[in-house]
Each structure stands twice: as C-alpha cells, then as structure tokens.
Structure 1
Amino acid sequence: MGDHVQEWPELSYGDLAPTVAFLNRLVQVAGKYTLDEPFEVGWGNVVLDVTPRGLRTPTLRQPGVTFSVHYRLLDEDVLIEADSGTRTLSLTHGSVAAFHAAFCEAAGELGIRPPASQLVCEIPDAAPSFDQDVEHRHWDGAAAELVWRGFNLVADGLETWQAPYLGHRPRVGVMWGGFDLSSTRYRAQPTLPRPNKPAFMQNGELEAYVSVGFSFGSAQAPAVGMYAYIWPQPQGLEGRSWGVEGAGWNPEAGLVLLPWSSLREQDNPKAAVLSFGEAVYQAAVDLAGWPADLIGPHCDGWHMSRTAPAHVRA
C-alpha cells in the first residue's frame, strides 16, 4: 500500500451510519423537486451531483424561477441559489421535520414552491413523511466530510469508466432515495419490469442496463463498498473474476460486491474502480448478449483535441 491509503480513508458503517441516515433524509427534501422533471429511463435525471463541497441538485425550473439546491457538507450548510436570490440554511443538530419547515420557508421567500411530496422513500422503518420525523439528530461534521470524500473518490473512477460508453449513460451521481452513488449504462432493449416491485423500480426496469455504484451500507447489509448488477440478471455469474482482488458475486443479494477495505488496499484504487466496472460490463457481453462495440477508447480530452479522427486522417 502507498500514499493512497491516506487519500482513500477508512470508512466504517458503524461510525458513519447516524450521519448517513440523517443525510439520506435531508437530501430527499430537495431531491423531490427532480420528480417534476421529464422522466429519463432509469431515473437518470434525479441524481445529485458530487461537487467540490457536497451534493447538488441539477438546475431546476418552475414558472417564474430557476434554482438549484446545494448541500454543502464541507461547509455544514445548504445553499438555495435562484435567479431571485439566495438563502442559506445551517446543517446542525435538530430534526428532519424542523429542517423541512425551515427549507420550505426559505424556498418560499425566493418564489419556489415547496416540494410536491413529503413522503420519505426507500428508508426502512423511517417516519412516513418529513413533518412526522421529529427525532432529534446529531450533526457530525467530520463524518459528513468522510461521506463526501467516499462519494467523490469513487465518482472519479466511475466517470472514467463511463466516458467511452457510446450508449445512453446518465451522469454519475447520488440517488437520493437510497443514498447510493450510481453509474448506469443502458441498452436500447425493452425489458419486462418485475410486477412485484414498487412503481419507481418498475420504471427503472423499462430497458436493459448495467449498474455499478457505491454505498455506505445499511442495517441489513452493514458494509461500505461498491456494488454492481446486470438487469435482467443473466445466468452464469458465479465463479467469474471481477477485475479486483476481493470482489465477488453474492447470490443472496443478487449483486457483485467489492468491499471498501479491499478497494483502498489496491495499489491504484481509482484504476481498480475502472477494472471492476469493465469486468461487470464484460460479464454483460459474455452472458447477456450486450454489444462489445458500444465501448470506445479510453483517452483524455487533450489527446482527442489534438488527434484527428481516423476518417479524417485517411
């Protein structure tokens, strides 16, 4: 192991779980605005960008106002930025209900209507709505910084993995429902959603896709690390190599898992993220008939700006 073990810090589910649970609820407040946007296959339009300071919604538009919401984890505040002005809310100790009320008041001062829904989603045993979540929660700035750092480091690798894909690929970002970093490649092949799943999951299963992501774990699966899966799930995933030592297929979860502890021990963790993603896509090619020719070359932008395409050189 080299200097990267300092850049890629130790991340423990037990240490981060209270902050992750708090943040998961808070980001859903502004995240709800993205549901007003035109639906993009797989909910690709709803993700929060990983910024230099935290997590931010895409630019949002309502009649008469254009705005975005930036959860600045490193500054311990939330910035609502609109063409009508700005408002800043402190991220501090308190309840989700209190934050929701303060957020709606601040947004209203800028001419932004409240989010259309107060329902808390994808969090087992959560209060049904923001205004009912009155539990007093403790804000831990150091833990919030670690959460941002984990998202930021993995996003760097996943953006590199996504770059050469020639098919539909939403931007890499945090799904505010499950609070996981998502990177997904879609194939123009309609699929039949599973009828026993919630409506939002059925919408996400309208087309075949390969998903590689990062999660801080849950009470049911308390492990920080990367995950991946192929929809529809093909046969033959057992016993494959997944590009990185420590990665393996978990049939109970239906996921390929790469623990954070294994990832940060690699000589080059960012390259390991890329290798993991490429191994998952190769499994889709080998087992689910995905086209290999949807992957272009990996090269940096400066190279491409100075190198004429092959048909021009010819």
Structure 2
Amino acid sequence: MEKQQWPELSYDEAKDTYQTLHLWCQIVGKIKLAQLPWVNHSWHVTLQLTPSGFTTGDLPAGKKHFQINFDFKVHQLQVVTSLGEQRSFDLANLSVAGFYAMLMSTLEEVGLSIQINPVPNELEDAIPFPEDNTHATYNPAQATQLHAAFLLTQEVLSKFRAKFTGKCSPVHLFWGAFDLAVTRFSGKPAPKHPGGVPNLPDWVAQEAYSQEVNSCGFWPGNESLPMPAFYSYHYPEPEGYKTASVQPEEAYYHDTLGEYILPYKVVQQSDNPEQTLLSFLESTYRAGAQLANWDRKSLEQDPAILAKTHHANTQ
C-alpha cells in the first residue's frame, strides 16, 4: 500500500488559521469538560481525530447524547444527537466570538443548554470567547493540511504507544496547548509540579504530573517556537537528560521549553518519515528512562512478542 505524503506546513503562513482553530477547539473542549466526570491527568477533556477532522466523541446530556465534530473536508462544525438531530454551520468567515455564538445557538436548537468558562486556558493575555473578534482567520487548505499532519503523526504515535505495557495515555489532542500527545508513566510518584501555567489552576497541572512521565507529541507552533515541531520530555527531568545522545541529528534540547524538539520539516522531508519520527520518540524516551532508572523490563513490550504480532497481522 502506497504511503501518504506528509504535507508541507508553514507557521509563518498559517499561524492565523492555527490560532483561530486552536481557540475554536478550546470552546468545543470546554463543552466536553462540562459534560464528563473527571478522569486522571485530564484525559477526559481531549479531542480525538477522525478521518475528516476532530471530535468530542459521545457526550451525555440528560435524556440524550450528543457529539460535536469539526469536518475539514466540508469545512463545517457539526452537532449530532442520539435522537437523530443534526445541525451544522460553515467555518468560513467566523471570528472566535462568532463561532462561540453560533455553537451555543446551535446547541440550544437541539435542547442543549451548556455553560462553560468562556476564557481560554493556557494562553497569556487571553480574550474571553464572546469578545474575541481578533482571531478570525480560517484558510480551508491550511486546516486540511494540518489535519493530515495530525493523522500521520497519530499513526506513528500509536505504534510508539504499542511498545509500552505500563500505564500509558491514549493518543489524543489537548486543546489547551493544541498538541497531539501520548504519555508513558513509570509507575512512580513525581515531585509536586510548580504550576504556573497561564490561565490554568495549579491543581490541574499538579494532578497531571503527579507521576513520573515521558510525554511526546506534535503541535503546529506558537510564538515561543514559531514552527511546527515534534517534542519529547521527561518529568521530572533526570540529571544529564538535556545532554543525552538522541536521534536524528537534527533533534535538539530547547532550554526554555525544557524538552527535546524535532522540527516537523525534518520528518516531512525525510526519505522515511515514520522511521525518522520513531527514532526521535524512542531515543528521547530511552535516554530519560535510563537516567531516571525506570523499570524498563516490566514496562516495555517484549520485542519478540511485537514481532510475532506484526507477523500474524500481515498474514
């Protein structure tokens, strides 16, 4: 089967679309947060990828259930319910304030009155959603390309996740920072996280990092790192981690962010993007796990079993 080409992404060209889409995802994510019981490490709040976009998945709402979907093929926001109700609106020409008003109105149309905290999380100088007419860019081609990059990344992250038998998160999209992530846990408690994330209660970060983790993923960039990139970090960071030998050679430790970075373009332009990304994920995990004395024998899948499983699945 022919592999899909990784799309070219440019933060400089697409950042306005990325920022608007990020804020739209925050609105949808906060609706999910309002409807579900708390799950450890905030796993319940995340969005999931679909072949055509992002989704909340099934959400309970009294006598019915509903789901909110971003569809980047037809460029719509869709609301569907278990009673067969379907509503949608176009994403083009909407500010964050316009999107917020349209979505809340659409939910009301199908009998869903949901209250959220209308202030973005994890962003400095956050503008309340109903007042944000500053972020109002949606380029359909840029959204489609970003979604394609997320899908291809998810495929690699899923393979990386499958090699771990300890506690591990799903591969999921955190709308706070707008990153697709997967997190491995050592099973040992971690020192209390200092918190200090903009517009996020300290207890949320402290609960998320209550155990030792290796976390990795992809995000389209922000002003602190103005390029699409893959990342990997350990919390707490073990001594010697930032000077460890990792792959590929283009990967580097970012002192301000406190994590390893691999520019997206390195993977996109590679002759073997999947293997290039896997080498980054595996080498940064391995460096941290060894330095932090993780019990790798009990936490990692036996390579022989993985080989047998792969062979069985290809027969």
Is the structural similarity TM-score above 0.5? yes
Residue 245 (1) aligns with residue 242 (2): no
What residue number does 1:44 align with?
A: 43
What residue number does 1:69 align with?
A: 68
Residue 269 (1) aligns with residue 273 (2): yes
Question: Residue 188 of structure 1: CA displacement?
Answer: 2.3
Residue 7 (1) aligns with residue 5 (2): yes
Where 2:177 maps in the other structure, the secondary structure is: coil
What residue number does 1:93 align with?
A: 93
Distance 2:135 2:119 in 1: 19
CA contact (8 A) 2:188 2:212 kept: yes
Question: Residue 303 of structure 1: CA displacement?
Answer: 4.1
CA RMSD of aligned residues (A): 2.2
What residue number does 1:291 align with?
A: 295
Instruction: Specify the code of the residue in structure 1 equivalent to 2:88.
Output: T
Report Cα offsets for 1:177-197 as digits up to 9, x if no partner: 111111111232222322342
Matches within 5 A, 1:106-117: 106-117=106-117
Distance 2:69 2:149 in 1: 18
Instruction: Specify the code of the residue in structure 2 equivalent to 1:256.
Output: Y
What residue number does 1:312 align with?
A: none
Report Cα offsets for 1:42-71 as digits up to 9, x if no partner: 222222111111111121112212111111
Instruction: Specify the code of the residue in structure 2 equivalent to 1:124.
Output: E
Distance 2:311 2:129 in 1: 49
Residue 260 (1) aligns with residue 270 (2): no
CA contact (8 A) 2:192 2:210 kept: yes
Residue 103 (1) aligns with residue 106 (2): no
Distance 1:22 1:306 in 2: 42
CA contact (8 A) 1:29 1:115 kept: no
Instruction: Specify the code of the residue in structure 1 equivalent to 2:123.
Output: I
* Count of residue pairs the alignment pairs up: 303
> Which of 29, 37, 41 is the aligned partner of 1:31?
29
Distance 2:102 2:152 in 1: 32
Residue 186 (1) aligns with residue 185 (2): yes
Q: Which shows bigger deviation, 171-180 or 36-45?
A: 36-45
TM-score of the superposition, structure 2-length normalised? 0.89
Q: Which shows bigger deviation, 180-189 or 19-28?
A: 180-189
What residue number does 2:238 align with?
A: 234
Matches within 5 A, 1:129-144: 129-135=128-134, 137-144=136-143
Question: Residue 288 of structure 1: CA displacement?
Answer: 0.7
Q: 5+ residue gaps in structure 2?
A: none
Where 2:181 maps in the other structure, the secondary structure is: strand
Distance 2:76 2:308 in 1: 35
Question: Residue 291 of structure 1: CA displacement?
Answer: 1.7
What residue number does 1:204 align with?
A: 208
Question: Residue 10 of structure 1: CA displacement?
Answer: 2.0
Question: Residue 87 of structure 1: CA displacement?
Answer: 1.0
Q: 5+ residue gaps in structure 1?
A: 308-314
CA contact (8 A) 1:33 1:60 kept: no
TM-score of the superposition, structure 1-length normalised? 0.89
Distance 1:300 1:130 in 2: 51
Report Cα offsets for 1:125-179 as digits up to 9, x if no partner: 331x211112361321011111111111111110110012112222112111111
What residue number does 1:18 align with?
A: 16
Instruction: Specify the code of the residue in structure 2 equivalent to 1:54.
Output: G
Runs of 4+ in 1 over 3 A off after TM superposition: 297-307
CA contact (8 A) 1:41 1:206 kept: no
- Shift of the 252–99 alpha-carbon distance from structure 1 to 2, 3 Å rule, reads closer
